[in-house]
Structure 1
Amino acid sequence: MTRQEPQECVLLKYGELALKGRNRGLFERHLLQAVEHAMRTDGEQVRISRREGVLVLSHGLPRHELMERAVHVFGVSVVQPALRTACDVGAATEAVLLALAGKYGDHDRGARTFAIRARRRNKTFPMTSHELAAHIGERVRDVHGWRVDLGQPDVEVVVEADKREVFVSLERHRGQGGLPAGASGRALVLLSGGYDSPVAAHRAMRRGLRCEFVHFSGAPYTDPSSTYKAYALLRELDRYQGRSRLHVVAIGKAQRALATAGAGKLQVIAQRRLMVRLASELARELNAQALVTGDSIGQVASQTLSNLATVEQASSVPVLRPLLTWDKSEIIAEAERIGTADISALPDEDCCALLAPPRVATRTGPGEFEGIEGRVELAELVPKLLADAQVLTVGGTRSQAGPLA
């Protein structure tokens, strides 16, 4: 690399990962895998270089596309487009002037203020951070005539001296933060077609959970619209982890069996217990350590504290509820931010409304369901329903041939 050949790149900076102690290496490996997956391309490979607390992306894709992919990677706090150049004062100065010329013109002399923020990760660099900032600042003032303002400048230039190169940046973008996918284990998300569960899935993935997904349809008594919505939602969520799978379980006949067994006003809770029982058994098969739901206290009758406890007791693994204290407006706002709201707003035939009674019990206990669940013979029903499940993979094909449920 020479002074005449600064290269475009993108810096990915850690957030929470930087605070990790002895197990930081584990989190960094998961982050590297997540970035490698996000940057995968059929053409030239993106080069990923590791620095202290920083990943450097270059080649393979245009810089704007590198940034677009990087902002969806959990574990990355800052996405920073940059120029990289040789590790000396002259090269750093020329790279700053080149970056400014690219954005403002060669000799822009508008009434702007600026600041140079210099940092040495390489302490053998011949100038201190303050000296480097002063040296470059003087050249910028000579060329552009701008005034220095270290408080609230119009233009902020970041110069970072590493062991082998210097990085120059004029802007920085907020990343997803959180922890990289898989760093905290595996979970199974109960994904409906509504607003809540996709947002809950996003929050779970942001905490480092690698997620599988299960969707319950009311087939054969409902049409496939809820499954289509769930799959569309999964395509949006897949941007954050890749290689996502949706297990589709048709429970319409099981719901009718519960109603026939005399569930009455307990029907909705009985259905929820069935879903959680199925999901926990599927989680065991998938080596997932927890379930994730979009429950929010008091949002609907089935989500009273009493009913939530009754439903959870049907699970053999922990049930995580990231949105437990969120209200609906907060959930919808977050759905809009992560890109799932428009899909969730589409109409569908939701299995939860199938055979729902006029009034839903708000205070229940597990003992009330022993007779009902015994009459439908859940021990035999659960494995049969799971055996008939379909598996849809984002960008792939479906297994378990048959019409979509």
Structure 2
Amino acid sequence: MTDTPFVPAPRASSPVAPDASCVLLKHGEVFLKGRNRHRFVDRLHDNLRIALRGIGGSTWIKIAQNVTVLGGQVPQEALVERARRVIGFNSVEPAVRVPSTLEEITQAAVRALRDVSTERPGRGFAVRVRRRDKQFPLTSSRMAGHVGARVLEAVPDLHVDLTRPDIVLAIEIDRKETYLSWTRRPGLSGLPVGASGRALVLLSGGYDSPVSAHRAMRRGLACDFVHFSGAPYTNPASVYKAYALARELNRYQPPGRLHVIALGKAQKQLAVAGAGRLQVVAQRRLMVRTSSALAARTGAQALVTGDSLGQVASQTLANLVAVDEAADLPILRPLIGWEKQEIIDEARSIGTADVSVLPDEDCCQLLAPPRASTRAELPHLRAVEKRLDLDEVTEALLGNVQVMLPGEDGEAAPPPTPACPTPEPA
């Protein structure tokens, strides 16, 4: 795939074509940062450029005061769709840009609202002006009144409504260019991905862990993923789901790698060692122990799980404490206080629910006892683990890890192992 060429924005002195389309991206928490704000903005723009790859035309990015302006030789809706994937923007607004003269701004406003009135006649409108260039001859309030009066004269189907307008025409006046927008689409807000470091997400095939990963990304964490399958005792359906989920999540960040680890034989070893009702918690401890070792190799500084307190037997407070004790890194749980329906609703909004609902063979159910312990005690867990050489088990698991790079191009490296064969074409 060929990256979209990055073309610098026109110089301020360059003429602006009438009603040249662009997209205004309003900054989120980056706005609150102090002296190191430029580092967050640079990261935000790097992520934006990555999101624009393969869009099919040249693009440019311009920095204004707490706003990023995006444009190029690409349909505006395509720019909006890509920009809405980038974490760190509060809103994404399709706009037009015109020279900063009273006449050009007024004419552009009339044209814009005339087009809107054709689609939605009888609506109320308001004009909001932000004058960044204090040398502009009219104040913000006088400019809003002037534009509103001209619109009323030219578009009789509209009426002024300053309290609850159906249409808000936003005008932002810079020294050389002015931006007009009347549609506001919500962004993902949060911190730019990568601004807070790197994490390794324990990715299952359910609803919880993908939502947890997305929440971690919104706090600025770049995420890699690790999926534990029950191979060779289960089919590869869970691996296909993990790949699809990681691919969907990578739409929101510079693509992270997916590590697939076949846990089945180690699970059987725990069962033979007499784990009994502790089997599920012992498996979780082995997962975080292995993930900690993997994180040390990939540069991750924390683990992320989809645990929600009390949701299932393995997620009681006592069991979470027992799992934490086996980790060498902090375990972050963004969903710790969420209810299941909240998680499902969030999964639908980020696009992972349709994958999570597909059937698979979850490795956590492999060799699971009829009744799992809700209060696993560390001495009992350690007694089971002493019957194994955990260092040897962990090294064996990491020695056969399969690494993929799920992305929109569908590439993976290296090819799947025989335990997780590539699905045949439908």
The normalised TM-score by structure 1 is: 0.96
1:132 aligned to which of 115, 138, 143: 143
The change in CA–CA distance for 1:354 and 1:4 in structure 2 (over 3 A counts) is closer
Partner of 1:374 in structure 2? Answer: 386
Partner of 2:367 in structure 1? Answer: 355
Partner of 1:114 in structure 2? Answer: 125
The CA deviation at 1:123 is 1.2
Partner of 1:54 in structure 2? Answer: 67
The CA distance in 2 between the partners of 1:342 and 1:320, in whole Å, is 25
The CA distance in 1 between the partners of 2:74 and 2:418, in whole Å, is 39
Comparing 127-136 and 95-104, the one that deviates more:
95-104
The CA distance in 2 between the partners of 1:44 and 1:18, in whole Å, is 30
Partner of 1:88 in structure 2? Answer: 101
Partner of 2:269 in structure 1? Answer: 257
Partner of 2:418 in structure 1? Answer: 403
Residues 1:213 and 2:228 are matched in the alignment:
no
Comparing 394-403 and 167-176, the one that deviates more:
394-403
The change in CA–CA distance for 1:91 and 1:357 in structure 2 (over 3 A counts) is same
Asked whether the equivalents of residues 74 and 240 of structure 1 are also in contact (C-alpha less than 8 Å), the reply is yes
SS at match of 1:74: coil
Letter in 1 for 2:411: G
Residues 1:308 and 2:320 are matched in the alignment:
yes
SS at match of 1:386: helix
The CA distance in 2 between the partners of 1:330 and 1:112, in whole Å, is 35
Comparing 283-292 and 360-369, the one that deviates more:
360-369
SS at match of 2:144: helix
The change in CA–CA distance for 1:372 and 1:116 in structure 2 (over 3 A counts) is same
Letter in 1 for 2:83: A
Matches within 5 A, 1:6-405: 6-41=19-54, 43-105=56-118, 110-145=121-156, 146-394=158-406, 395-399=410-414, 402-405=417-420
The CA distance in 2 between the partners of 1:270 and 1:293, in whole Å, is 16
The CA deviation at 1:361 is 1.2
The normalised TM-score by structure 2 is: 0.91
SS at match of 1:229: helix
The CA distance in 2 between the partners of 1:385 and 1:60, in whole Å, is 49
Asked whether the equivalents of residues 201 and 224 of structure 2 are also in contact (C-alpha less than 8 Å), the reply is yes
SS at match of 1:399: coil
Asked whether the equivalents of residues 221 and 252 of structure 1 are also in contact (C-alpha less than 8 Å), the reply is yes
The CA deviation at 1:110 is 4.7
The CA deviation at 1:366 is 2.3
What's the % identity of the aligned pairs? 53
Q: Deviations over 1:336-370 (max 9, x none)?
A: 11111111111101100000011211112322222
The change in CA–CA distance for 1:79 and 1:4 in structure 2 (over 3 A counts) is closer
The CA deviation at 1:401 is 5.7
SS at match of 2:323: helix
The CA deviation at 1:19 is 1.0
Asked whether the equivalents of residues 109 and 144 of structure 1 are also in contact (C-alpha less than 8 Å), the reply is no
Q: Deviations over 1:155-195 (max 9, x none)?
A: 22111101220001111111001111001110000000001
The CA deviation at 1:23 is 1.9
The change in CA–CA distance for 1:221 and 1:112 in structure 2 (over 3 A counts) is closer
Moved over 3 A (4+): 1-4, 108-112
The change in CA–CA distance for 1:83 and 1:327 in structure 2 (over 3 A counts) is same
Letter in 2 for 1:380: E
- Flag structure 2 segments of 5+ consecutive residues without an equivalent: 1-13, 421-426
